[in-house]
Structure 1
Amino acid sequence: MKNQIHKLFSDYKTGKTSRRYFIRQLAMITGSSAAALSLVPVLEENELRSGRAGDGKSELITEFIKYPGFTGEMRAFLARPAKGKKFPAVIVIHENKGLVPHIQDVTKRMAGEGFLTLAPDALSPVGGTPDDISNVGSLFKQLNGEETTKNFVAAVKYLKTNPLTNGKVGCTGFCWGGAITNQVAVNSPELDAAVPYYGRQPAPEDVEKIKAPVMAHYAENDPGINAGIQAFEEALKKYGKEYKIFMYEGTGHAFNNDSNPDRYNEQAAKLAWERTVSFFREKLKD
């Protein structure tokens, strides 16, 4: 029964079922509506405790939330320090595998650095990231590129007015998410900082629209992505944009992904992370 209740509560908190359905099913398990309603606060308190993680720097509160996107409700994973009132905010954009545990871990790590961090699920319009991601590529093919960008621009707006933030919002993303980070920078004048990791660059003529300072991380052995660096940098210079570009020697695409031992490069990932956090702290301060 314990596992059944846990699964039911998890489905409710992650948005898979409604509160009404959750209470009704819980009442069937516990024997009465009164018993179900008395159990809800206990479950929520247990979740709060288990949702707090530590990296030695900060105790965290994590939860799945929904925010208004361009195409409708967007599901997202949110992490923030348990202590404090107003935090600078960072959007984390996942790779082409969806909102997987690795990205949730990155989100918690960023929150551990003192940021309110939000990782939207880009696949929300097509049902969300599935548990089995073996065929997730077919879901990405169903996304409309322009609408996807607008869903992330909506995340910037959501965080700008969130009472738990200081009104400053940065964005970082990896691989596919790096490309989307660049597009958010082009399409959101409200964005305060952008850090794409090995992401495809925007069209040179679109760079003029970028308002946020940019820090871009690239892997040395990533010819497909790196082919666009020169034109990107030339456009950044042409339009007088604030930017930094870093190339990490001896690395390949996705060097930050510690869940992929074939790609992960600990030294480069650590250095890029330190640079990213420092950049966000500088650009997102009150």
Structure 2
Amino acid sequence: MKPELPAQAYSLYDQYAHGMLSRRDFFSGMAGLAVSAALATTFINSMLPNYALAQQVSFNDDDITASYQKFSPAQSQNGTGHGAGHKEIRGYLVKPKNATTALPTVLVIHENRGLNPYVEDVARRLAKAGFIAFAPDALWPLGGYPGNDDDGRTMQSSLEPAKIVADLKAAAMWLKQLDGGNGKLGVVGFCFGGAMTGRLAAELPNVVDAAVPFYGSPPAADSIANIKAPLLVQLGELDERVNQQWPAAEALFKQHNLNYKIEMYPASHHGFHNDSTARYNKEMADLAWQRTLAFFKQHLS
């Protein structure tokens, strides 16, 4: 159980988790909040993911088929701009079993630590709901997600950002043309993946048909006018770092007449949808997921 701490403790952890603070600086900041080293250690340990809690849909569920797939960015059509990426991409592909009609596809973009079990489960949840889901692993050029988030975060920070973006664009193109798909592509992402979701909507406006960024930074201001896809932005009320970036972006959304909705979830921290960590808010996560599925069904069917 997570200890009771001042709200600023979560802000410090958020900065630590995103590489803005060293572990030493995190503990110094906690000391400044009059939190003992022992309690700070308990807190940071409570925030580490427990992936045994994150499986809502089993990998061998009777309604889905799941596998790891590799492809070359050259396999995606209209690969303009994808050449800056890596030579091979690997991800987790999940399909509804025994589908009799073409199905909408959804790209699932992970946080800043690679394709962990929580994100794989999100892909399975989408397949269970009737979508073909693909979750690429940005860490594949380094051997893939290493099995723990701290190492994954370090690995991802060592990669060239432009290559990660190019890989995600290639994955979107590959998935949109996948056999069995209906030619409609949704994108959903979390944290880093939330930011990438908005970025793909802005930079691939003729590819992305619907986008749901969870607590990610908004797209670059000079790219917002390019967005054609409807957006459902999911934010946690207590996520000050991300939330402060959205008013200016929303003003541009309005200026350019985008089809969007911003949902703010009360008493919810950054990462509130991730059911493997102590920041999980089940009630709000369930509501956000219901809205996500309804949004994709509306715009991708």
TM-score w.r.t. length of structure 2? 0.74
1:98-157 CA-partner distances (Å, limit 9, x unpaired)? 111111111100110000000000112232211244322221122222221221111121
Q: In structure 1, what is the Cα distance between the partners aligned to 2:228 and 2:169?
A: 14
Q: Structure 2 unaligned segments of length 5 or more: list them.
A: 1-57, 74-84
- Partner-residue secondary structure (3-state), 2:237: strand
- The alpha carbon displacement at 1:163 in A equals 1.3
* Matched residue, 2:260: 243
Q: In structure 1, what is the Cα distance between the partners aligned to 2:149 and 2:261?
A: 34
1:170-197 CA-partner distances (Å, limit 9, x unpaired)? 0000111111111111111211011000
Task: Give the letter for the 2:110 counterpart.
Answer: H
Whether the aligned pair in 2 keeps the contact of 1:95 and 1:175 (CA below 8 Å) is yes
* Matched residue, 2:166: 150
- The alpha carbon displacement at 1:51 in A equals 5.0
- The alpha carbon displacement at 1:87 in A equals 1.0
Q: How does 1:166-245 map to 2 (within 5 A)?
A: 166-189=182-205, 190-245=207-262
- The alpha carbon displacement at 1:68 in A equals 2.3
Q: In structure 2, what is the Cα distance between the partners aligned to 1:51 and 1:272?
A: 23
Whether the aligned pair in 1 keeps the contact of 2:203 and 2:223 (CA below 8 Å) is no
* Matched residue, 1:19: none
Task: Give the letter for the 1:265 counterpart.
Answer: N
| Structure 1 residue 75 corresponds to structure 2 residue 90 | yes
* Matched residue, 1:53: 61
Whether the aligned pair in 1 keeps the contact of 2:113 and 2:154 (CA below 8 Å) is no
TM-score w.r.t. length of structure 1? 0.78
| Structure 1 residue 253 corresponds to structure 2 residue 270 | yes
Which of the residues 66, 69, 93 maps onto 1:65? 69
The percentage of aligned residue pairs carrying the same residue is 39
Q: In structure 2, what is the Cα distance between the partners aligned to 1:231 and 1:165?
A: 36
* Matched residue, 1:120: 136
- Partner-residue secondary structure (3-state), 2:114: coil
Whether the aligned pair in 1 keeps the contact of 2:113 and 2:155 (CA below 8 Å) is no
Q: Structure 1 unaligned segments of length 5 or more: list them.
A: 1-49
1:47-94 CA-partner distances (Å, limit 9, x unpaired)? xxx95415xxxx000000012233221110011100114110001111
Q: Which has the larger radius of gyration?
A: 1
Task: Give the letter for the 1:66 counterpart.
Answer: K
Q: In structure 1, what is the Cα distance between the partners aligned to 2:187 and 2:300?
A: 11
1:206-254 CA-partner distances (Å, limit 9, x unpaired)? 1012121110000000111001110111111111111010000111010
Q: In structure 2, what is the Cα distance between the partners aligned to 1:74 and 1:120?
A: 7
Q: How does 1:30-49 map to 2 (within 5 A)?
A: none
| Structure 1 residue 263 corresponds to structure 2 residue 267 | no
Whether the aligned pair in 1 keeps the contact of 2:176 and 2:185 (CA below 8 Å) is yes
Whether the aligned pair in 1 keeps the contact of 2:114 and 2:153 (CA below 8 Å) is no
Alpha-carbon distance change, 132 to 266 in structure 1, aligned in 2, over 3 angstroms: closer
Q: In structure 2, what is the Cα distance between the partners aligned to 1:209 and 1:147?
A: 22
Whether the aligned pair in 2 keeps the contact of 1:63 and 1:79 (CA below 8 Å) is yes
Q: In structure 1, what is the Cα distance between the partners aligned to 2:96 and 2:203?
A: 29
Task: Give the letter for the 2:61 counterpart.
Answer: A
